[in-house]
Amino acid sequence: MAKDLKVELPNLDDIFKLSTNNKGKVETVVMIDPNEITDFPNHPFKILDDAEMDKMVESVKSIGVKEPVIVIPKANGGYVMVSGHRRCYACRKAGIKEIPAIVRDMSYEEAIITMVDSNIQREKILPSEKAFAYKLKMEAIKSQGKRNDLTSCQVDTKLRADEIIAENSDDSARQIQRYIRLTNLDKGLLDLVDKGKIAFNPAVELSYLSKQEQIWLLNLIDKYDATPSQSQAIYLKNLSKEGKLTKDKLEEVMEQEKPNQKQKYSINYNRFERYLPRNIVTVREVEDFLLKCVEEHYQRKKIRDIER
C-alpha cells in the first residue's frame, strides 16, 4: 500500500515534464512497493542487465532512489509505470521494498507522451527503441487529435503529429517518419540495425520490402555474411515496388562484392627485412620486390607442372 509522505515538490513542471493539464499543480510523493508496479504496455525501451544496471543497483542500495518514478493507478489495484522503469527494476534486483513515486491521474495518451518524452533524450538509445517510441507517441497525438481537433494534416495553423514530436526532439519531422519506418522491418533485420551491421539509411529503404522478401534477405545476409549497401537497398525497394523482386534476384544482388567488403591485407615488412636487398628502402620498393618474387615462384611452379 502507498504511504502518504505529504511532501510537496516545487517546480514539478520542469523536473518531470508535466503534461499540460497538470501545470501549476503540486503533487505528493508516496512510497510504493516496486512489485505493485507493472511495466507500461508495449514499453519500447529495453532494460538490460549490463554494467550500467549493476551500478544503478549498487546506487539504490547505498543512497536509495532520489528522483520519484511516475505511475498511473490501475482500475483493479496496483500501478502502471510511466517513467522510471530502470529505477524500479534496479530496486527489485536490490531487494528494496519501497520506491518514491508520484501517482498521476492522466489519460492513456498523456501517459504515452510522458513515457516517451522521459526516455527519448537518453544518451544511449537504440534505433529500434527510438522507432517504436516515436510510433507510440505519434499514435497517441493522433488519438488526442480526434477529440481535440488536432489533425495529422497541415491545415491552417495546425501542426502534423510528426511536427509536434519534432518540437521536443533533436530529430526533424522527416527523420521521425524515417525512424517510424523501421518498425516495418523484420525483427531479425531490426536486430542487425541495433547492432550496427545494417546502417540506418539502407534499413529505411529495406523496410519497404514485404515480410517474405525480408525473410529471404535475412537468410542471404547470413549466407554471404554481407548486408546491402544504400544503392542496393534502393534497388531492392524499387524491384519490390514493381513486383519484380524474386528470391533469385535477391541472391544475385547479395552475391555482388561491395568495395567496403573486399578483404584487405596488411604486411609486416619487418619479417622480410633480412631477405631484402640493401637498396630497397621505401614501402613501394618492398611491395614491388615481393611481387616479383611471387611472380617468379608462380612461373617456376608452372614449369614444374608442365614437366610432370
Q: What is the arithmetic mean of pLDDT over 50-65?
A: 91
pLDDT of residue 206: 97
Percent with pLDDT over 90 in the chain = 53
Q: What is the arithmetic mean of pLDDT over 20-35?
A: 74
Report the DSSP beta bridge partners of residue 3.
31
Inform me whether the pLDDT recorded for 152 exceeds 70.
Answer: no
pLDDT of residue 235: 96
Contact indicator for 231, 206 with CB cutoff of 8 Å: no
∠117-120-123 over CA atoms, to 5°? Answer: 135
Q: In terms of pLDDT, which residue wins out, 196 or 26?
A: 196
Inform me whether the pLDDT recorded for 12 exceeds 60.
Answer: no
pLDDT of residue 112: 93
Please choose, from the candidates 28, 16, 25, the residue with its C-alpha nearest in 3D space to the C-alpha of residue 100. Answer: 28
The DSSP-derived string for 202-255 is HHHHHTTS-HHHHHHHHHHHHHHT----HHHHHHHHHHHHTT---HHHHHHHHH
pLDDT of residue 147: 54
Inform me whether the pLDDT recorded for 155 exceeds 60.
Answer: no
Longest dimension (CA), the chain: 99
Inform me whether the pLDDT recorded for 20 exceeds 80.
Answer: no
- Across 25-29, 71-75, 150-154, which has the greatest mean pLDDT? 71-75
The model carries a pTM of 0.69
Helix (H) or strand (E) holding 64: none
Cα–Cα distance measured from residue 138 to residue 116, given in angstroms and rounded to the nearest whole number: 10
20-24, 102-106, 150-154: range with lowest mean pLDDT:
150-154
Q: What is the pLDDT of residues 275-300, one digit of tens each?
A: 788 777 777 778 888 888 888 888 88
pLDDT of residue 146: 59
Architecture of domain 3-117: Alpha-Beta Complex (3.90)
Q: What is the arithmetic mean of pLDDT over 170-191?
A: 95
Percent with pLDDT over 70 in the chain = 83
How far apart, in Å, are the Cα atoms of 9 and each of 3, 15, 239?
16, 9, 58
The edge-to-edge listing of strands for the beta sheet with 69-73 is 3-8, 28-32, 99-103, 69-73, 79-83, 37-38
Helices 187-194 and 127-148 pack at an angle, to 10 degrees, of: 120
Q: What is the arithmetic mean of pLDDT over 68-79?
A: 92
Rg (CA), the chain: 29
Contact indicator for 213, 250 with CB cutoff of 8 Å: yes
Contact indicator for 92, 81 with CB cutoff of 8 Å: no
Q: What is the arithmetic mean of pLDDT over 134-159?
A: 65
Q: How confident is the model at residue 188 (pLDDT cuts 50, 70, 90)?
A: very high
Contact indicator for 37, 85 with CB cutoff of 8 Å: no
Cα–Cα distance measured from residue 192 to residue 208, given in angstroms and rounded to the nearest whole number: 16
> Which three cell numbers mark 127?
534505433
pLDDT of residue 173: 92
The DSSP-derived string for 83-110 is E-HHHHHHHHHHT---EEEEE----HHH
pLDDT of residue 34: 93
Q: What is the arithmetic mean of pLDDT over 242-250?
A: 95
Q: What is the arithmetic mean of pLDDT over 190-219?
A: 96
> Strand, coil or helix: what is 38?
strand
Q: What is the pLDDT of residues 95-140, one digit of tens each?
A: 999 999 999 988 999 999 999 998 887 778 899 999 999 999 999 9
∠107-112-117 over CA atoms, to 5°? Answer: 125
pLDDT of residue 15: 37
Q: How confident is the model at residue 240 (pLDDT cuts 50, 70, 90)?
A: very high
**Residue 241 CB neighbours (<10 A):** 11
pLDDT of residue 306: 76
Q: What residue ranges do the domains of the chain occupy?
A: 3-117, 125-184, 185-263, 269-307
